[in-house]
Amino acid sequence: MRVAIVGASGAVGQELLSILAERNFPTTELRLYASPRSAGRRVEFAGAEHAIMALPEDGDLGADIVFSSAGGSVSKAHAWAWASHGAVVVDNTSAWRMDDRVPLVVPEVNAHAIARHQGVIANPNCSTIIALMALAPLHRAFGLKRATVATYQAVSGAGASGITELREQTAAVLGGASAPSGEPADGPPAPRKFRHPIAFNLFSHDSDVGEDGYNGEERKLLLESRKILEAPHLAVSATCVRVPVFRAHSEAIHAEFERPVSEAEARAVLEGAPGVRVVDDRANNTFPMPLAASGKDDTLVGRLRADSSLPGGLALFVAGDQIRKGAALNAVQIAEALLPD
């Protein structure tokens, strides 16, 4: 396959390169694209150097597979033009997720939807992917009716600038300063990427809040889960929070099913689910953690227990690397499903 990556200089673009190499994706030609300010930068892949290029105006990326992670506005403007030149676009942005023409795919959950593509396939939001890695197998077994989800989302979900802000603010606080510049003062470090200080703090996810009181990230969890599970009446209420963690999102989930579900039944289902690893050691108080999930392909699931507020309901906790399974790995898995037999 001829492969193109749009947004090759970003965190997801770099992770895509690593995963393509790790999984020996059959790449006959690689083309890397990013903004004009990154053009000319050289990146190594499979023992060879590749120059990052600016996007061509005619939309022909010279590829069979295009991984797009340069932002929603870029995908919104160009994805169908790239597809018109014969490429299948695997889009990591939010641009086309809810478009009826575009399958929204987690391969372990709804790989069958890939066959319906018309040139563009969407990668779901990272928090949706991580939640559904646990909820989808339970849904298949017991019929999911509703879920409440509280997320603990790492700063790398906001890109490299989010990581830099957490690192600089943390150093400033520990050094007795209030700002990344190191200048002493009485207040907290001044935020730049985020609306509020992130070091030793947490706050509601930095997406706009709608009239219904839910922010964009919370709304994605509802709407994307309904589309992926083909469950239009599924009820999901989410509270999404940004936390001072560098990498990997965690989520506390309370779920109700069409019939009462025991902890033992849920554990048996999850232990057999692809891409899931059960981490549930009560004796040693060891459960899913972002540090343990970082750099891993599997989504970690634990804290399995009956929901004391809802007889027959289930409570659980998950952690997953939002750059790998929440973005780059999921996209490569979609591309692998497109390979000829």
CB atoms within 10 A of CB 286: 12
CA distance 130 to 316: 13
Query: Could you tell me the CA-to-CA distances from 5 to 14, 106, 254, 305 in Å, in that order?
Result: 9, 20, 37, 42
Tokens of 143: 């019929």
All residues at 6 or more sequence positions from 268 whose CB lies less than 8 Å from its CB, including other chains = none
Q: Report which residue type is found at 147.
A: A
Query: Could you tell me the CA-to-CA distances from 207 to 77, 204, 237 in Å, in that order?
Result: 22, 8, 16
CA distance 40 to 215: 38
What DSSP letter does each residue of 191-242 carry, written as one string? PSSSSS--TT--EE-SS-B-TTS-BHHHHHHHHHHHHHHT-TT-EEEEEEEE
> Beta 144-153 vs 235-242: how paired, if at all?
parallel
DSSP 299: E
Query: Pick the catalytic residue: 50, 78, 117, 126?
Result: 126
Please indicate whether residue 249 is annotated as part of the active site.
yes
Tokens of 200: 């030793």
Query: Pick the catalytic residue: 117, 205, 249, 254?
Result: 249
CA distance 167 to 198: 10
- What residues form DSSP beta bridges with 209? 215
Q: Enumerate the active-site residues.
A: 126, 249
